[in-house]
Amino acid sequence: MPELPEVETVVRGLRDEVVGRRFTHVSCHWPPQIVGLSPEAFASRLVGRCVEALNRRGKFIVFDLSEGALLIHLKMTGRLYVAARGEREEADRWLRAVFEMDDGRELRFSDLRKFGRLYLVSQASQVIGGLGPEPLSDDFTLDEFLARLARRRGMIKPLLLNQRFIAGIGNIYADEALWLARIDPRRRADTLKPHEAERLYHAIRTVLEDGIRYEGASVNWYRKADGATGSYQDHFNVYRRAGQPCSRCGASIHKIRVGQRGTHFCPTCQV
């Protein structure tokens, strides 16, 4: 599933293409992906609305409209891209929604597995109001992280995946951050010493910033808005490297299940 860096990369790639554009026609090809509205109501309400801003919140793509907000969650295989009307793209094989714009182009949503979700609401907070802090924002300070961590007792890996704890982190960046911080993913949050928690705070921000710098990790279906791949997968330290040597200590990387998620770590230098 695309995580914060992947979604941020998609948003950056689309912003200049869609901001200022008005939707002239909307067609929906897989109604179950629309949350809370019929396909007809969803489409008719979008027509005439202008995209005033495009941002990311957690793993959500947020279109601020002239009236209300459109939110899209890509889930596992969702892709969002702009194409000229009549132009065929490879991802069109799994086309689920088309948003025609007033410049003759189309914003297209493709999703092989059909897990992606579309929301049209009066306020974006109706969908994303319960998310935790943005880990790269200035407001997410070390003190804020320590305060949130102090109230938790569960294992640290599932906690990092909890979107109400911190928004935007998924399996890839949780594994990479825990490796960088030298913390076993099975450790309980309340066992982390202050210096370990500080290392984790900085590790989270580092791996997410690196993920954005390399424009995301194209390990499965994720592609940038222009269809190109990201390259963060070329810089993994543990994720998908089971059986390979740890770049820090040389021990073999292990893959286990933590909180029902495949988890990669070094059993020697993550304690």
Instruction: Give me the mean pLDDT over the 38-59 stretch.
Output: 98
Is there a catalytic annotation at residue 59? yes
Tens digit of each residue's pLDDT (9 = 90 or more) over 4-38:
999 999 999 999 999 999 999 999 999 999 999 99
pLDDT of residue 94: 97
**Bridge partners, 51 (sequence order):** 65
Every domain of the chain with CATH number 3.20.190.10 lies at: 4-128
In angstroms, what CA-CA distances link 48 with 24, 25, 26, 75, 120? 6, 8, 10, 27, 14
Catalytic residue among 3, 6, 100, 215: 3
Every domain of the chain with CATH number 1.10.8.50 lies at: 142-265
The identity of residue 85, as a single letter, is R
Tens digit of each residue's pLDDT (9 = 90 or more) over 159-214:
999 999 999 999 999 999 999 999 999 999 999 999 999 999 999 999 999 999 99
Token digits of residue 32: 């179950």
The identity of residue 123, as a single letter, is Q
Catalytic residue among 22, 205, 261, 267: 261
In angstroms, what CA-CA distances link 146 with 90, 103, 187, 195, 206? 45, 48, 16, 11, 17
Tens digit of each residue's pLDDT (9 = 90 or more) over 88-109:
999 999 999 999 999 999 999 9
Token digits of residue 245: 């040597």
- Which residues lie below 8 Å from residue 16, measured CB to CB, with a gap of 6+? none
Query: Rounded to whole angstroms, how far apart are CA atoms 27 and 100?
Result: 8
Is there a catalytic annotation at residue 3? yes
The fraction of the chain above a pLDDT of 90, given in percent, is 99
| Average pLDDT over all residues of the chain | 97
Tens digit of each residue's pLDDT (9 = 90 or more) over 186-196:
999 999 999 99
What CATH number labels 142-265? 1.10.8.50
Query: Rounded to whole angstroms, how far apart are CA atoms 32 and 116?
Result: 10
Instruction: Give me the mean pLDDT over the 131-141 stretch.
Output: 98
Is there a catalytic annotation at residue 261? yes
For domain 4-128, the question of CATH label 3.20.190.10 is answered with yes
Tell me: pLDDT of 57 over 90.
yes
Instruction: Give me the mean pLDDT over the 249-254 stretch.
Output: 98
pLDDT of residue 32: 96
Instruction: Give me the mean pLDDT over the 38-46 stretch.
Output: 98
Catalytic residue among 2, 135, 158, 185: 2
22's enclosing H/E stretch is: none
Cβ-contact 57, 131 below 8 angstroms: yes
DSSP code per residue over 49-97: -BEEEEEEETTEEEEEESSSEEEEE-TTTEEEEEEETT---GGGGGEEE
Token digits of residue 180: 């960088």
Catalytic residue among 57, 59, 199, 224: 59
pLDDT of residue 215: 98
pLDDT of residue 1: 85
Is there a catalytic annotation at residue 90? no
pLDDT of residue 178: 98
